Amino acid sequence: MDEQQFIPKKYSNIPDTGKYTWSSPSNIALVKYWGKKKDQIPENPSISFTLESCKTITSLSFSKIKSNSSFSFDIFLDDEKKDDFKPKIETFFKRIESYLPFLKDYHFVIKTSNTFPHSSGIASSASGMSALAMCLMSIEKQIIPTLTHEYFNQKASFLARLGSGSACRSVEGDLIVWGHHANIEGSSNLFGIKYPYEVHENFKNYQDTILLVDKGEKQVSSTVGHNLMHNHPFAAERFIQAHNNLNNLIQILKNGDINAFNQIVESEALSLHAMMMTSLPYFILMKPNTLEIINKIWEFRNKSGLPVSFTLDAGANVHVLYPEKDALSILEFIKNELVAYCQNGHYICDKIGFGSKQL
Ligand code: PMV
């Protein structure tokens, strides 16, 4: 399987105008992607829970223009024109142009909004790039109505990856693998796939409460962070660790061992941050309250025996993960003991979800 399969045959004709709207969720990695090769190929496989409530909703209107030498589009966030978003979309369009040859035949109006606050420290690139890729695929589907559902999703994930790596895990739900792993059939560096093996009841409807510790802009963009894995002294070991952790998760997801699950997920979060702390330049994205929360979670878990754990993205916010059956007691603990460490007491209750939807 290679990129060639996503280059369409010459289109016979294309519609004059139209509009598509999609919502795409954010996702939270259990085994983290950190480090990439050329063309957004990940250095190691990752696996994530697709979320339900944290979403981007994007509508893409298109009208035919005389074919241009450059891309023609305007982008709005919450109805406000956002010219500062243009370079990112321009780069995305350049990367995907050979896979969607109609891009220069249209003027596009992209209108986007997030269900989570813009300045929440929750990255909108995964959900945003995924929603845009879904809209673009809807245009291709209109041009080539015979595209199968499977091809549609696979190519959408492939395109989203070229916008932002982790975006390829936001097309579908509920557990997505991206990156080749020897023991996961069908896994690919080019797109995300639905996790193909048995998942125990314990992980169904898994809960993720996102504690907004720091809502500021990230100090380090993920592009810079990924690049710091080149020549990183521990990179090779880290990539092996991710392969092993994903391998061990296969058994854990099947047998429902939440304690073993928690160990891998927390170790992955801390390894991600350890990579950042040991790169050159080095940086610390956790804040004092991130550590306070982690310690509280460990204390509560030891005392109560309830299987709550945490994971982190490339930022200070904490994702608190727990099974649905313990949601009442753990949410009570979160409200009583953790929310105090959130900026303005803000947190978001989310859970595992089922992927993008056309609206
Ligand atoms: O998709 P990017 O390039 O923004 O990378 C995101 C990487 C992490 O969120 C830190 C980990 C992951 O696997 O999602």
pLDDT for the residue numbered 118: 72
Domain CATH number, residue 119: 3.30.230.10
Domain residues for the domain of 37 are 1-359
Q: State the average pLDDT over residues 52-59.
A: 97
**Pocket test residue of 43, 222, 238, 318 for ligand 1, highest count of atoms within 8 A of CB:** 222
pLDDT for the residue numbered 69: 84
Q: Grade residue 12 by pLDDT with cuts at 50, 70 and 90.
A: confident
In terms of residues, how long is the chain?
A: 359
pLDDT for the residue numbered 45: 98
% of residues, the chain, pLDDT over 70? 98
Is this model's pTM higher than 0.85 or not? yes
Query: Which residues 6+ apart lie within 8 Å of 23 measured at CB?
Result: 55, 56, 57, 58, 131, 356, 357, 359
For residue 297, the surrounding DSSP H or E stretch is helix 288-304
CB 316 within 8 A of CB 213: yes
**Pocket test residue of 34, 36, 175 for ligand 1, highest count of atoms within 8 A of CB:** 34
Q: Give residue-wise pLDDT tens across range 243-279.
A: 999 999 999 999 999 999 999 999 999 999 999 999 9
**Pocket test residue of 33, 239, 270 for ligand 1, highest count of atoms within 8 A of CB:** 33
Environment class of 355 (CB within 10 Å of its CB; exposed 0-12, middle 13-18, buried 19+): buried
Is pLDDT of 119 > 70? no
d(CA 124, CA 120): 10
Q: Which amino acid is at 197?
A: Y
Q: Give residue-wise pLDDT tens across range 18-27.
A: 999 999 999 9
Q: Give residue-wise pLDDT tens across range 302-340.
A: 999 999 999 999 999 999 999 999 999 999 999 999 999
Q: Grade residue 10 by pLDDT with cuts at 50, 70 and 90.
A: confident
Ligand 1: residues with CB < 6 A are: 29, 32-34, 46, 123, 125-126, 164-166, 222, 226, 272, 313-314
The total domain count for the chain is 1
Q: What is the DSSP string of 114-150?
A: ESS-TTSS---HHHHHHHHHHHHHHHHHHHSTT--HH
The single residue listed with the structure tokens 């040991």 is: 278
Q: How remote is the CA of residue 299 from the centroid of ligand 1, in Å?
A: 28
Q: State the average pLDDT over residues 59-82.
A: 94
Is pLDDT of 117 > 80? no
Mean pLDDT in the chain?
A: 96
End-to-end distance of the chain based on CA atoms, in angstroms?
Answer: 31
Which of residues 66 and 171 earns the better pLDDT score? 171
Nearest to 5 by CA among 157, 182, 184: 157
Q: How remote is the CA of residue 34 from the centroid of ligand 1, in Å?
A: 6
Looking from the CA of 45 toward its CB, the CA atoms found within 13 Å total 25
Q: Give residue-wise pLDDT tens across range 223-249.
A: 899 999 999 999 999 999 999 999 999
Query: Which residues 6+ apart lie within 8 Å of 99 measured at CB?
Result: 3, 6, 7, 8, 155, 158, 159
Environment class of 186 (CB within 10 Å of its CB; exposed 0-12, middle 13-18, buried 19+): exposed
Q: State the average pLDDT over residues 54-77.
A: 94
Among 3-7, 91-95, 123-127, 147-151, whose mean pLDDT is lowest? 123-127
pLDDT for the residue numbered 1: 64
Strand partners, 42: 36
Other C-beta atoms within 10 Å of 278: how many?
14
d(CA 100, CA 138): 11
Q: How remote is the CA of residue 27 from the centroid of ligand 1, in Å?
A: 9
Q: Give residue-wise pLDDT tens across range 179-220.
A: 999 999 999 999 999 999 999 999 999 999 999 998 776 678
Q: Give residue-wise pLDDT tens across range 155-170.
A: 999 999 999 999 999 9
